[in-house]
Amino acid sequence: MDPLVAEFVGAVLRWLLTSIGAYLVAHHVITADQSDRFASALIPHLLLWAPVAGGLVWSLWAKYRSRLKFIAAAEAPAGASEESINKAAKSATVKAQAFTGPL
């Protein structure tokens, strides 16, 4: 991972963990010392898994979008243009349906 990207993601994750820690400290769930230790210990692990999670989310989003295009193409009349199918896939009328076929 690029060092600049890792530093940016680390800063955002530290801010998020600090916010969660501040909430837990304010409600007397953990102490301030525990919050600091948890935040500093979790950052390396979260940075390690961030690219994996990002790739997984991206892949799921791409599969969802392709499913919408497939449904729009199936609902389109014969001879419909690719442009009209792409436009229909982006409209709110096309909903992804559950897959019921064989794997």
Sketch the domain layout of the chain as residue ranges: 3-90
**Statement: the pTM of the whole predicted model exceeds 0.75:** no
User: What's the mean per-residue pLDDT of the chain?
Assistant: 83
Is the model more confident about 59 or about 13?
59
- Alpha carbons 45 and 11: distance in angstroms, whole number: 14
pLDDT one-digit tens code per residue, 55-83? 899 999 999 888 888 888 888 888 989 88
- Alpha carbons 13 and 43: distance in angstroms, whole number: 7
State the alpha helices, DSSP H only, in the chain.
3-26, 32-75, 82-90
Q: Calculate the alpha carbon distances from 88 to 42, 54, 73, 98 in Å.
A: 43, 27, 8, 19
pLDDT above 60: residue 99? no
CB atoms within 10 A of CB 50: 17
